[in-house]
Amino acid sequence: MDQIRFDETISHQCGVTMNDSVEARAIAEVMEGKPGIRITYLPAMIRIDGEGKITFDMKELTEALGREMTPYLFEISTSTHYGRMVMLDDDTVVLFGDMEEAMAFE
């Protein structure tokens, strides 16, 4: 335990982990070109990580997937997430790493 160091800073990072699937690959492909987004392909999973907040536009995802993507289907596609997930409307899901900013949507 003497080698463990605790850092009390706040990272403001957020992200999702998805099982590798057609939907996950379409989501990753759309998000890949966005500034500040890191995509990590693992053997059976895909991670999307960012700083501050990540906005997922269902219209963009629908176009990339070739069939409708709703916020509810998006949530099913993400096996886990970190940060605060907020559905702003039927077309937008935002993942906040900054909890202060997320509280505006309570």
User: Per residue in 32-50, pLDDT tens?
Assistant: 989 999 999 999 999 999 9
Structural domain includes residue 2: no
Predicted confidence (pLDDT) per residue in 70-104, tens digit? 999 998 888 899 999 999 999 999 999 988 888 88
Structural domain includes residue 6: no
What pLDDT score does 1 carry? Answer: 65
- The mean per-residue pLDDT over the stretch 25-34 comes to 95
- Number of domains the chain is built from: 1
Structural domain includes residue 62: yes
Residue 30: domain span: 13-104
Task: Give the Cα separation of 29 and 62 in Å (integer).
Answer: 12
Chain-centre distance for alpha carbon 76: 12
Give the CATH number of the domain where residue 52 resides.
Answer: 3.90.56.10
Structure tokens at 91: 């077309």
